[in-house]
Amino acid sequence: MSAENKVYVIDDDDAVRDSLSFQLEAAGYAVTVFPSAVAFLAVADTLPAGCIISDIQMPEIDGLELQQQVAERKLTFPVILVTGYADVALAVRAMKAGAVDFIEKPFSDESILTCLRLAQSRFAEQLASDAAGTSARDRLGVLTPREREVFDQLVRGKQNKVIAFDLSISPRTVEVHRARVLEKLEAHSLSELVRLALAAGVQISS
């Protein structure tokens, strides 16, 4: 079962768990239910990746702390919080800390499915972005320290003579390093270097 179809429903209300489980399974999702965040976290490290739909108000560990623990453990579980009117501020706090979405009670069948699809889409985009960032950082790792210095200056828009002055080397040496940077990174233009820098999370503002 792919991560896109796996959902974990966490709620201390039996009726809510049963209702959500039935609804989501009817929509084609593989659902596992837990009566508490404590029960989920006890086995979370052994579970396949999937999306969490959790009530925010629960005893012992609430939805906000659940989201925090998921983030701290670096688990691949996007979190959607089910919240009442009085819980919205908590849900917003959780989103700022990494939860992907929240939905207010009472909600319709279609609204929870829409929320789930949107959350999964955002999470897939984030995973793709993370993978691209890791790949870009790995590519930059082949550069020597001096080549990396030249790279960092190039993507900030510095001219060769300025780079030479800043690094106390000759403009000709800068040209040699620039050529090696392009070759090692399999890039054909400065714009490709800039895109690679952005993907790797390099701060390029001058």
Q: Side by side, which strands form the sheet with 51-55?
A: 30-34, 6-10, 51-55, 79-83, 101-104
Distance from C-alpha of 60 to C-alpha of 62, rounded to nearest angstrom = 7
Does the global pTM surpass 0.75?
A: no
Contacts of 14 (CB under 8 A, 6+ apart): 35
CATH 3.40.640.10 holds for 141-200: no
| Statement: residue 206 has pLDDT above 60 | no
Where does the chain hold its CATH 3.40.50.2300 domain(s)? Answer: 3-131
pLDDT in tens, 152-203: 999 988 899 999 999 999 999 999 999 999 999 988 888 888 888 888 888 8
pLDDT in tens, 58-68: 888 988 888 88
Distance from C-alpha of 36 to C-alpha of 49, rounded to nearest angstrom = 18
Residues 78/51, Cβ–Cβ less than 8 Å: yes
Contacts of 203 (CB under 8 A, 6+ apart): none
Residues 81/61, Cβ–Cβ less than 8 Å: no
pLDDT in tens, 14-58: 988 898 899 999 989 999 999 999 999 999 989 988 899 998 888
Note the pLDDT of residue 33: 95
| Statement: residue 1 has pLDDT above 50 | no
Question: Which of 78-87, 102-111, 150-159 has the highest mean predicted lDDT (pLDDT)?
Answer: 150-159
Where does the chain hold its CATH 1.10.10.10 domain(s)? Answer: 141-200
CATH second-level architecture of 3-131? 3-Layer(aba) Sandwich (3.40)
Identify which of 82, 54, 86 has the alpha carbon closest to the alpha carbon of residue 67: 54
Q: 7 exposed, middle or buried (CB, 10 Å; 0-12, 13-18, 19+)?
A: buried
Distance from C-alpha of 18 to C-alpha of 5, rounded to nearest angstrom = 18
Q: Which residue has the higher pLDDT, 143 or 64?
A: 143
